[in-house]
């Protein structure tokens, strides 16, 4: 599948999913690379990224988010560095794909299909003020919440199904759990409802799309990391059959 869409010399936008221990290395940056050699359908060599004249020394076993500029469009996948070395005076990273290659649209986060229970409710006026002021959320824990099911999640927001509906543009408090390091961790996030529609052939069931609102960087990183780990597990299961 890889060689069907990706060719030698294709440009790559590369971003590490790890938090660097080196204070001089900004892992949130997107670096330029290119395809040097396709070794198999899930392994390839890419050029080591550089900034000005400095090599960016990403560690073996680091997890990467790769976006390829193929002839038929942009493609995204996650990968792991399995080796790094120098060949013919070219510094290379050997990477192994840990997710399927997917069509990618710039400025969009990859949406991971799932089925996660969620509780939510509309924000009260005073709660909304605290989010608008970028202050720590001042949420009332005693107000009742409604059940729903998240059907896809990304680093930018989520889509969920419910037997009630919110108003487009409203802010909602969402609470759900993600598996992190083998432990279910609770996440409390604020979302802004961007679309609502009744599901075809399912009267009284509504699909909502919500965008995260004033989310802190660390929480977003954890959600993206969760998606990456789940994608890797799915790929490992597929490869066993």
At 137, which CATH number? 2.40.10.220
- Both 17 and 98 in one domain: the answer is yes
pLDDT score of 181: 75
Sign of the alpha-carbon torsion through 221, 69, 76, 192: positive
Measured between its terminal Cα atoms, the distance across the chain in Å is 17
pLDDT score of 133: 58
pLDDT score of 163: 96
Residue 18 DSSP code:
S
| Among 120-129, 173-182, 207-216, 232-241, the least confident range | 232-241
Residue identified by tokens 């279910």 is 184
With CA atoms as reference, report the closest residue to 149 among 205, 219, 75.
205
- Both 193 and 221 in one domain: the answer is yes
Overall average pLDDT of the 208-235 stretch: 85
Query: What SS3 class is residue 191?
Result: strand
pTM value > 0.75: no
Question: Over 70: is that where the pLDDT of 23 sits?
Answer: no
Question: Over 60: is that where the pLDDT of 19 sits?
Answer: no
Backbone angles phi, psi at 154, to 5 degrees: -145, 180
With CA atoms as reference, report the closest residue to 67 among 37, 40, 24, 31.
31
pLDDT score of 2: 80
Overall average pLDDT of the 187-194 stretch: 93
Of 82, 103, 124, at which residue does a domain stop? 103
pLDDT score of 1: 67
- Both 117 and 41 in one domain: the answer is no
The CB density around residue 185, as the number of other CB atoms within 10 Å, is 12
Of 45, 68, 103, at which residue does a domain stop? 103
Q: How many structural domains are present in the chain?
A: 2
Q: How many whole angstroms separate alpha carbon 86 and alpha carbon 88?
A: 7
- Binning the chain into helix, strand and coil, the percentages to the nearest 5 are 15, 45, 40
Q: How many whole angstroms separate alpha carbon 230 and alpha carbon 179?
A: 9
Overall average pLDDT of the 211-239 stretch: 83
- Both 122 and 227 in one domain: the answer is yes
Distances (CA, A) of 9 to 12, 46, 175: 9, 9, 44
- Both 129 and 46 in one domain: the answer is no
Kind and range of the H or E run holding 15? strand 11-16
Q: How many whole angstroms separate alpha carbon 84 and alpha carbon 158?
A: 36
| pLDDT confidence tier of residue 28, bands split at 50, 70 and 90 | low
Q: How many whole angstroms separate alpha carbon 217 and alpha carbon 58?
A: 21
Backbone angles phi, psi at 126, to 5 degrees: -70, -30
At 54, which CATH number? 2.30.110.10
What is the share, in percent, of the chain residues with pLDDT greater than 70? 89
Residue numbers of the domain that contains 229:
112-239
| pLDDT confidence tier of residue 107, bands split at 50, 70 and 90 | low
pLDDT score of 135: 52
- Both 207 and 99 in one domain: the answer is no
Residue pLDDT, tens place only, 110-168: 788 999 999 999 998 888 776 765 555 678 878 999 999 999 999 889 999 999 999 99
With CA atoms as reference, report the closest residue to 166 among 141, 187, 186, 196.
196
Q: How many whole angstroms separate alpha carbon 40 and alpha carbon 51?
A: 28
Overall average pLDDT of the 7-35 stretch: 75
């Amino acid at each position: 599948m890889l060689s069907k869409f990706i060719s030698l010399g294709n440009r790559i936008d590369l971003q590490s999913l790890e938090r660097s221990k080196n204070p001089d290395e900004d892992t949130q940056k997107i670096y330029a690379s290119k395809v040097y050699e396709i070794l198999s359908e899930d392994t390839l060599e890419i050029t080591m990224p550089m900034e000005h004249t400095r090599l960016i020394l990403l560690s073996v076993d680091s997890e990467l988010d790769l976006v390829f500029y193929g002839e038929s469009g942009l493609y995204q996948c996650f990968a792991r560095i399995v080796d790094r070395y120098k060949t013919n005076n070219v510094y290379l990273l050997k990477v192994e794909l840990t997710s399927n290659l997917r069509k990618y649209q710039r400025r969009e986060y990859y949406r991971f299909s799932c089925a996660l229970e969620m509780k939510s409710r509309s924000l009260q006026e005073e709660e909304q003020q605290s989010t608008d002021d970028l202050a720590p959320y001042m949420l009332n824990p005693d107000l009742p919440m409604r059940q729903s099911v998240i059907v896809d999640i990304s680093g930018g927001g989520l889509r969920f199904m419910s037997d009630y509906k919110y108003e487009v543009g409203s802010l909602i408090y969402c609470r759900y759990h993600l598996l992190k390091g083998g432990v279910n961790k609770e996440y409390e996030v604020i979302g802004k409802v961007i679309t609502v529609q009744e599901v075809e052939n399912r009267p009284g069931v509504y699909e909502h799309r919500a965008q995260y609102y004033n989310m802190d960087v660390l929480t977003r990183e954890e959600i993206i990391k969760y998606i990456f780990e789940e994608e890797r597990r799915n790929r490992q299961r597929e490869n066993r059959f």
